[in-house]
Structure 1
Amino acid sequence: MSVSGVHGDIVVGSVLTWSTSYTDEEVARCCALAGRPTDPLPDYLPYLLVVAPLTKLGGDLNYLSGRMTWTAARPVRRNETLSAELAVTRLDTVDGVTRIAFDARIRASGDLVIEGHSRGVVGPV
């Protein structure tokens, strides 16, 4: 079983990756949207920006989560690059619905900062 999309053919065992870092302007916009002070900027990234690379990867697959569990190991400094990965652990079709599950990780400066699991469905990309 496989699904095709932005990352090519996805099968159990596939690992999708994406890295990003945020500009001060992006951090300020996120803080402003959340009603948090932007001057001075926080030393650490808002949690939503830390997990955003995982949502980007899921969005590439047209993924709709049914369940997510995450554990955060430490805060992420504003100047750190985030590297996200989703490792596909399940992929099957039942009654025309493609179910998928992932092990998810985010690293910053080589440290594992977010770890978790997610399962849901993927639609046509």
Structure 2
Amino acid sequence: MTTHDRIREGDSKTYTRTFTNEEVQQFAELSNDTGYHHLVADEDGQVVLHGLLTATMPTKLGGDLNYLARTMEFEFPRPAYTGVEITCEATYESVEKQDDCTYLEVSFVCETEDGDVVLRGRSEGAIMG
């Protein structure tokens, strides 16, 4: 059974992680986004995650499938912080299987352990082969 055969409309996958201040520092250096709020910790020792660092969570789930995104849309309703567990859930809204690929429409939402939504969005793309 291939990855294509296991994907069903309405199915979802989750990924949970907690980002560190060191990871935000590394992302700042890589992206050249060195905004103060990403580099200087607050009174709790936390910094704000880059939105696109947070967005690596749904892209990790896509990478597990060898998914090639054609489009991605992001909304960041509130900031996410280091030291806070975040869970991303991706749901396959549409699955269209063809001879050599499977086209997907995916929605995703990332929430903190307290239930605060820090990222929501959608993507369209395909799994080739």
TM-score class, shorter: 0.7 to 0.9
Provide, for residues 63-120 of structure 1, a one-character-per-residue CA deviation record: whole Å limited to 9, x for no partner. 1111222211011122221110110111112352210111111112311121121111
Counterpart check, 1:19 vs 2:16:
yes
1:123 alignment partner in structure 2: 128
2:77 alignment partner in structure 1: 73
List gaps (5 residues or longer) in structure 1: none
More strand by share: 1
Report the Cα offset of residue 3 of structure 1.
5.3
Counterpart check, 1:110 vs 2:112:
no
Corresponding residue pairs, total? 121
Mapped to 2, the partners of 1:69 and 1:3 lie a distance apart of 28
Does the residue aligned with 1:75 lie in a helix, a strand or coil?
coil
Mapped to 2, the partners of 1:39 and 1:18 lie a distance apart of 25
Counterpart check, 1:43 vs 2:47:
yes
Mapped to 2, the partners of 1:101 and 1:43 lie a distance apart of 32
Provide, for residues 47-76 of structure 1, a one-character-per-residue CA deviation record: whole Å limited to 9, x for no partner. 121111101000001011112222110111
More helix by share: 2
Does the residue aligned with 1:32 lie in a helix, a strand or coil?
helix
The answer to whether the 8 A contact 1:3-1:10 is kept is no
TM-score normalised by length of structure 1: 0.83
Does the residue aligned with 1:118 lie in a helix, a strand or coil?
strand
List gaps (5 residues or longer) in structure 2: none
